[in-house]
A and B are shown apart, each in its own frame.
Chain A
């Protein structure tokens, strides 16, 4: 055997797939060739190190972005095929029809405005003479205690501050809506029990509150399983994320953390997120702090609120 022949079968030798005769031949050659011995040792090391290269996490919301692109392209293709069917005068007629419809819709909204979502959902108590907040008066606040999960029920205390009375509605994704009134004839602190679907890994609870003319919205996202300690750290590449309670909840889910999002409205705004071996709180502070949002930790949750 010579060096050239050895190199041709080096991989098979280190994988142990050579015949017994060939293996003996290689061993005899290795015994007399220091260079081949160095080759063999290096190849084993390289192979082992290649096998040990770590797996890389895909960017945040990678799958969401793929699906969004597929849907966008499908929509574009459908529009294109529709347009190709319409002759020019047809397009003009359709355009006029759409414009007319939009104008009629605007006029209808002007004369018959729709009630707000909260009052539709069930305002209890009399919204007579609602007091608008002034800069001097402290804003009504709804505080949540630590969340406890017992069986298929999630329990927490709600405390109303800086307001006489309030109504809070908790709606669970895909589940029933539970309501509780605070203050007035009721104590300002009351427990709220929310039934959960045990089949869901994560439950999203939207809390709608109304107190003295102020409507608030909080999102409480509680992973029921795999809750990680607050110190859990992650690293992942840059990914785009819409600035919405749902998207923030996806981020929290990735960290195995519970999160409450206070008064962060649905928004079209998108933010580039990455994680640099940091906790969820550190990551959110780094990305959302410059946007004027506060990130704190309360009990067993990270709380994000618009200032």
Chain B
């Protein structure tokens, strides 16, 4: 579902006045985006459905505070990211032992890995398995870095937009994203080399 900026503005205005039908249209416009952010951050369909639903409910309850200074898409991205981070905070206060968990959720944390069940390098010939390995590796990143990867690579947002969503300086966004990519490269170890693309400038 696509909306012109004018239509979107009108729907936001009507929603602010309590028009659920107008908000329904906004939900349909952004459900895919919000669900994908939630899924890529949580890597679980069950969690993603809960997080995305909570994000829209929070957006509805806080529409009055949305003044339109930012884009609605930026605002909803911020909400879904915050819902995800709140959810993780809650889950940390009720700890359970998982096979892979972050020891410390600061962005410089090291992931404790109990067992590497990823397929051997030969399996990387298959795109599907390569995708699974990469998704799994992204999940081992600290949340702050994972948010950068999801916003930049999955959502295709610009540094400026990510800075607005996360309320961080652009320089911090860039350095976090760099650290996240390097962390992925390190976590994938030897396997990372098989992700390599041919034809990069230094290899020619």
- The interface of chain A, by Cβ under 8 A from chain B, is 7-12, 14, 27, 30-31, 37-59, 62-63, 65-67, 69-71, 73-74, 237-238
- Evaluate whether A39 and B185 lie within 8 angstroms (CB atoms) in the complex, with A46-B192, A63-B27 already known: yes
- B84 located at the interface, meaning its Cβ lies under 8 Å from any Cβ of chain A in the complex: no
- B36 located at the interface, meaning its Cβ lies under 8 Å from any Cβ of chain A in the complex: yes
Task: Mark out the residues of chain B between 39 and 55 whose CB falls within 8 Å of any chain A CB in the assembled complex.
Answer: 39-40, 45, 48-49, 52-53
Contacts of A38 in B (CB 8 A): 193, 196
| Cross-chain contact of B153 among A51, A71, A237 (Cβ < 8 A) | A51
Contacts of B174 in A (CB 8 A): 11-12
Q: How far is the CA of A42 from the CA of B184 in the complex (A)?
A: 10
Contact sample, A vs B, 25 pairs, CB 8 Å cutoff: A10-B178, A11-B177, A11-B178, A12-B174, A37-B202, A42-B188, A42-B196, A45-B194, A45-B196, A46-B134, A46-B181, A46-B195, A50-B138, A50-B149, A50-B153, A51-B153, A53-B135, A56-B35, A57-B32, A58-B52, A66-B27, A66-B56, A67-B20, A67-B27, A70-B56
Contacts of B154 in A (CB 8 A): 50, 53
Contacts of A50 in B (CB 8 A): 134, 138, 149, 153-154
- B88 located at the interface, meaning its Cβ lies under 8 Å from any Cβ of chain A in the complex: no
Q: Are A237 and B134 in contact (CB under 8 A)?
A: no
Q: Are B188 and A46 in contact (CB under 8 A)?
A: yes
Closest A residue by C-beta to B34: A58
Q: Is the interface of A mostly helix, strand, loop or mixed?
A: helix
Q: Are B131 and A49 in contact (CB under 8 A)?
A: yes
Closest B residue by C-beta to A64: B24
The A/B interface has a contact count, at CB < 8 Å, of: 129
- The interface of chain B, by Cβ under 8 A from chain A, is 20, 23-24, 27-28, 31-32, 35-36, 39-40, 45, 48-49, 52-53, 56-57, 60, 130-131, 134-135, 138, 149, 153-154, 156, 174-175, 177-178, 181-182, 184-185, 188, 192-197, 200-203
- Evaluate whether A70 and B195 lie within 8 angstroms (CB atoms) in the complex, with A57-B32, A63-B27 already known: no
| Cross-chain contact of A53 among B48, B134, B175 (Cβ < 8 A) | B134
- Evaluate whether A41 and B31 lie within 8 angstroms (CB atoms) in the complex, with A7-B182, A67-B23 already known: no
Q: Are B153 and A45 in contact (CB under 8 A)?
A: no
| Cross-chain contact of A30 among B39, B53, B138, B202 (Cβ < 8 A) | B202
Closest A residue by C-beta to B55: A66
Return B124 CB to nearest CB of chain A, in Å: 10
Q: Are A41 and B193 in contact (CB under 8 A)?
A: yes
Q: Are B197 and A44 in contact (CB under 8 A)?
A: yes
Return B12 CB to nearest CB of chain A, in Å: 15
Contacts of B49 in A (CB 8 A): 58-59, 62, 237
Which of A58, A59, A67 has the most B CB atoms < 10 Å from its CB? A58
Q: Are A63 and B31 in contact (CB under 8 A)?
A: yes
- Evaluate whether A238 and B202 lie within 8 angstroms (CB atoms) in the complex, with A10-B178, A45-B196 already known: no
Return B66 CB to nearest CB of chain A, in Å: 16
Q: Are B134 and A70 in contact (CB under 8 A)?
A: no
Contacts of A10 in B (CB 8 A): 178, 181-182
- Evaluate whether A40 and B52 lie within 8 angstroms (CB atoms) in the complex, with A49-B134, A63-B28, A67-B27 already known: no
Q: Are B36 and A49 in contact (CB under 8 A)?
A: no
Closest A residue by C-beta to B134: A49
Contacts of A45 in B (CB 8 A): 192, 194-197
Q: Are B195 and A37 in contact (CB under 8 A)?
A: no
